[in-house]
Amino acid sequence: MDKTLKAELWDKMQYMFRNYYDRMVHCVHYYDKPLDVKVLKQVLVWTVEKVPVLHSSFHGNLVEPYWTVEDYTIDDILLEKVTDDVEKDIDEFVTLDIPIESNVQIKVALFHDGGRDVLCVLVNHMCMDGGDLKYFMKKLAENYNKLLAGDKSLHIKTGSRSYDAVYSKLSGEELAHAKGLYKNISQVKDEHYFPLTPEAKDDYKMIVRRKIDRARFAEFRKIGKAMDVTVNDLMLTVYIRSLYEIGMYGNEERLTIPCMVDLRRHIARGGEDTGLTNHTGFMQCSTARKGETINDTLIEVLRSVRQSKKDAYMGLYSLPLLKLAYAIFPYVISETAIKIGYLNPLIGMSNIGILEDGKLKMGDANLVDGFMTGAIKYKPYMQLALTSLLGEVTMSIAIKGNDSDKAKVNEFFDILIGNVDEFISLNRHRIEQ
Amino acid sequence: MKNKFKAYLEEKFREIRPTEAAMKFREQTLVELLERAQELKIKGIEDEELVYLTCIDELGDFDTVLKEFDAKQIETKATKRKIGVGAAIALALIAMLTVTYLVVGFVTHIWHPTWLIMVGGLFAGAGVGMLVASIKLIRAKKFLPVRAMLALIEIMASVFTFLLLQLVFHLDGSWMTFLAMVVLILGADTGVAFLTSSKAKWFELPVFVEVFAVMLFVILGIVTTVWHPTWLLCLIGVVFVIVEVAVALAIRHNRKSKEEDKKNKRFHKEEDEEYWTKWND
């Protein structure tokens, strides 16, 4: 008899999100030396064996969906290729889909590009989010290094994938309060669209990227530190100001965008003991106006973000509501009910954070470049994802669109970089004293 | 900056009781001050002292805020719980009355006017609630809402009495309950005015007497069909006002005379050697 796995709350939610995006999480790592393919294959198989959901197919049963553990070979997971156009191959790979019926829910590509290798990972978002993909990549490197050194004590977390791990740090009144947060926070209506063209048949998937270079970002961050403001607040500020500009929204219009929040902050030991899964919520950042200068926009952002930061239950809202819907209705009805009540944000931001090069080194191959990004959004939705590595920030916007949309996203990045520069020039004096 | 704000707040908070709630409020105020300071700096004010003073100034009349906070410290959650208990009692009462009405209806097959059980029960429940609230308000010396609630209780009692007389006892003229209701409301209110030494008591008393007399005249006229010379009752109020004014003037004159005598006694008869050398220059 086939072995089945329970479809957890977030698995079902991410499945529902197929209506808004392609359900894939992406990671691309550039190494300065070739990797040992034999070792990599062993580590991949070991990891996938330890995490059965990664070699399972999903069944959207009308009453209760579930996963069926499937047989597979390493060739189902790993694609190895010698390339003469690495960027093209990367783009082709990261825009692939992994169907829910597939026997594996993770695809890895290793491109040999002259003397360097590029490792690309594509995972079904139903299996894990950006937070756990970061963990997964670190563990992949750690286990690879161990195996390379002859150490067989490999490790990856294999605990519960249940959503309620987010309550593991709470008890008593706090727990009761958190489990009573039925408020639907997705119901913040914001009619602002990113100016993409209408949906068309020839739209294709793309991940448009731009970097904030090391020197620029260092200065940007230093000024932020002098102003006692986090990098996230600063990026949110330039992002929001750039949205006002590219979207030509009125200066006095309220703009609300959600920022993804890693809910592992609420989990005991930062989620080290759970299984690989999704633990992502969001907080709303709402600016009442654009503000005359970029510093005024920053003040607007701070005023909004402070409210969320003061909330000990940030990100935990709506979870009891989702749990209730899935508990009392058969899946087909609960999905319809949730779809009615859920407003997918038109514009979002996800700061995935720092990719730790030291922990991602594989053997003697150093991580010299890379990024992670979320799912590829279908029009009219869009999201900016941020990762930083070796002092550089990679901004990425993953959408399904056409060349004109690509040009618009690139124009947006120009505006964004322009706003970073504007912020620096307006506040440089604060670090010159 | 943070230490300066802390020092300022510590000094200010010494003026109120050192409770945990006050400590939380102090910490919250510090966060707000620091946030505002950060905003001012972002906006371009670089002088630390100016930022500090602006933030403190924006606190407004902080002494009053603190005093009000100190006065309010006690309740909040207790109030919420009381509201919750009150709502639960109200729901239980409604449920109980509905069940009673249904039981009586199904057993006796009489659905009218047994519904008065519900109306009477709800009025009684609301009345008891308002009486309890009135007692608390009297203790807090808030008499205006007490008078409004008493009037509401009397209206509910009158409406129920009318329904009872009309629907159960089929009494002709049961509508006159409403004439009595006006007298009842005014009488009770005048009583409260005297008990609480309200300034309006001397105005309310003749109004009550006049309304009472008019209603008495109307009721007597309807019941006995005798309208003359009972109409003279209507003049009682006027006579009462004249007597009241006369009494008031006499009392005032008496009080003034006593005050004047006292003053004259001190001014012309009291002796003090200091008066020989004292100057008011």
DSSP per residue, chain B? -HHHHHHHHHHHHTTS---HHHHHHHHHHHHHHHHHHHHHHHHT---HHHHHHHHHHHT-SHHHHHHHHHHHSS-THHHHHHHHHHHHHHHHHHHHHHHHHHHHHHHH---TTTTHHHHHHHHHHHHHHHHHHHHHHHHTT-HHHHHHHHHHHHHHHHHHHHHIIIIIS--TTGGGHHHHHHHHHHHHHHHHHHHTT-TTHHHHHHHHHHHHHHHHHHHHHHHH---TTGGGGGGHHHHHHHHHHHHHHHHHHHHHHHHHHHHHIIIII---GGGGT----
Q: Are the C-beta atoms of residues A337 and A322 closer than 8 Å to each other?
A: no
More confident call, A188 vs A373:
A373
* Structural domain harbouring B51: 2-72
Nearest 5°: the CA angle B7, B13, B17 is 150
Distance CA A385, CA A409 (A): 13
The DSSP output letter for A293 is: S
CB contact under 8 A, B42 and A306: no
Structure confidence at residue A55 (pLDDT): 96
* Structural domain harbouring A189: 4-432
The separation between CA B196 and the C-alpha centre of its own chain, rounded to angstroms, equals 11
Say if residue B122 is in the same domain as residue B66. Answer: no
B162 assigned to some structural domain: yes
Residue range B144-172: mean pLDDT, rounded:
89
CB contact under 8 A, A227 and B35: no
Please tell me whether the interface predicted TM-score (ipTM) of this complex is above 0.85. Answer: no
CB nearest A295 (choices: B31, B35, B42): B42
Structure confidence at residue B97 (pLDDT): 86
The DSSP output letter for A344 is: -
Token output for B85:
């208990």
| pLDDT class of B116 with cuts at 50, 70, 90 | confident
Residue whose entry in the numeric block shows the structure tokens 């009583």:
B191
Cα separations in angstroms, A207 against A31, A93, A181, B111, B144: 20, 11, 35, 73, 69
What digits encode the pLDDT tens for the residues B211-251?
888 888 888 888 888 888 888 888 887 888 788 888 888 98
B279 assigned to some structural domain: no
- The overall average pLDDT reported for chain A is 94
The separation between CA A119 and the C-alpha centre of its own chain, rounded to angstroms, equals 18
Q: B260 pLDDT exceeds 60?
A: yes
Closest CA to B202 of B233, B239, B235, B240: B240
Closest CA to B41 of A224, A233, A420, A217: A224
Crossing angle, helix B20-43 and helix B62-72, to 10 degrees?
Answer: 150
B64 assigned to some structural domain: yes
Q: Are the C-beta atoms of residues A216 and A393 closer than 8 Å to each other?
A: no
Task: List residues of A whose CB lies inside 8 A of any B CB.
Answer: 227-229, 295-296, 298-299, 302-303, 306, 310
| pLDDT class of B77 with cuts at 50, 70, 90 | low
CB contact under 8 A, A299 and B35: no
Residue range B181-189: mean pLDDT, rounded:
90
Distance CA A144, CA A35 (A): 10
More confident call, B119 vs B275:
B119
> CA-nearest residue of chain B to A228?
B38
> CA-nearest residue of chain A to B38?
A227
Distance CA B88, CA B85 (A): 5
B/e letters for B31-44, b = 16+ CB within 10 Å, e = fewer, are: eebbebbbbbbbee
Token output for A102:
């597939």
Residue whose entry in the numeric block shows the structure tokens 């004109």:
A404
Distance CA A208, CA A418 (A): 18
3-state secondary structure A357-389: HHHHCECCECEEEEEEECCCECCCCEEEEEEEE
Interface test with A, best of B42, B48, B77 (most A CBs within 10 A): B42
Q: B156 pLDDT exceeds 80?
A: yes
- Pick the last residue of a domain from B28, B52, B72: B72
Token output for A171:
């008890």
Name the burial class of residue A122, with classes exposed (0-12), middle (13-18) and buried (19+) by CB atoms within 10 angstroms of its CB.
Answer: buried
| pLDDT class of B79 with cuts at 50, 70, 90 | low
Structure confidence at residue A1 (pLDDT): 61
Closest CA to A58 of A23, A90, A103, A17: A103
Radius of gyration, alpha carbons of chain B = 32
What digits encode the pLDDT tens for the residues A19-62?
899 999 999 999 999 999 999 999 999 999 999 999 999 999 99
Domain with A104 in it: what CATH number?
3.30.559.30
B276 assigned to some structural domain: no
Residue whose entry in the numeric block shows the structure tokens 């119901």:
A187
CB nearest B38 (choices: A228, A296, A310): A228
What digits encode the pLDDT tens for the residues A201-245?
999 999 999 999 999 999 999 999 999 999 999 999 999 999 999
Distance CA A370, CA A394 (A): 8
Structure confidence at residue A401 (pLDDT): 96
CB contact under 8 A, A227 and B44: no
Q: A404 pLDDT exceeds 80?
A: yes
Say if residue B93 is in the same domain as residue B142. Answer: yes
Q: Are the C-beta atoms of residues A212 and A220 closer than 8 Å to each other?
A: yes
B281 assigned to some structural domain: no
Structure confidence at residue B76 (pLDDT): 58
- Pick the last residue of a domain from B35, B56, B72: B72
Q: Are the C-beta atoms of residues A25 and A123 closer than 8 Å to each other?
A: yes
Distance CA A123, CA A97 (A): 9
Structure confidence at residue A160 (pLDDT): 93
What digits encode the pLDDT tens for the residues A280-303?
988 889 999 999 999 999 999 999
Q: Are the C-beta atoms of residues A157 and A131 closer than 8 Å to each other?
A: no
**Those residues with Cβ within 8 angstroms of residue A177's Cβ, 6 or more apart along the chain or in another chain:** A313
Number of domains in chain B: 2
Tell me the count of A-B CB pairs closer than 8 A.
Answer: 21
Residue whose entry in the numeric block shows the structure tokens 């910490």:
B27
- Does the CB of B76 have a partner CB in chain A at under 8 Å? no
Distance CA A195, CA A198 (A): 9
Q: Are the C-beta atoms of residues A359 and A109 closer than 8 Å to each other?
A: no
B54 assigned to some structural domain: yes
CB contact under 8 A, A299 and B43: yes
CB nearest A298 (choices: B31, B35, B42): B42
Distance CA B41, CA A39 (A): 54
The DSSP output letter for A275 is: -
Q: A407 pLDDT exceeds 70?
A: yes
CB contact under 8 A, A299 and B42: yes
Structure confidence at residue A433 (pLDDT): 64
Please list every residue in chain A whose beta carbon sits closer than 8 Å to the beta carbon of residue B31: 310
- Pick the last residue of a domain from B19, B47, B72: B72
Structure confidence at residue B281 (pLDDT): 67
B137 assigned to some structural domain: yes
What digits encode the pLDDT tens for the residues A108-154?
999 999 999 999 999 999 999 999 999 999 999 999 999 999 999 99
pTM of the model: 0.71
Say if residue B31 is in the same domain as residue B101. Answer: no
Closest CA to B112 of B58, B166, B176: B166
B25 assigned to some structural domain: yes
Structure confidence at residue B73 (pLDDT): 66
Looking only at the bridges linking them, the beta strands covering A382-389 and A392-401 are: antiparallel
Tallying the residues shown for chain A, one arrives at 433
Number of domains in chain A: 1
Distance CA A349, CA A373 (A): 11
| pLDDT class of B75 with cuts at 50, 70, 90 | low
Cα separations in angstroms, A32 against A122, A277, A333, A365: 21, 31, 51, 6
Structure confidence at residue A398 (pLDDT): 97
Residue range B156-184: mean pLDDT, rounded:
89
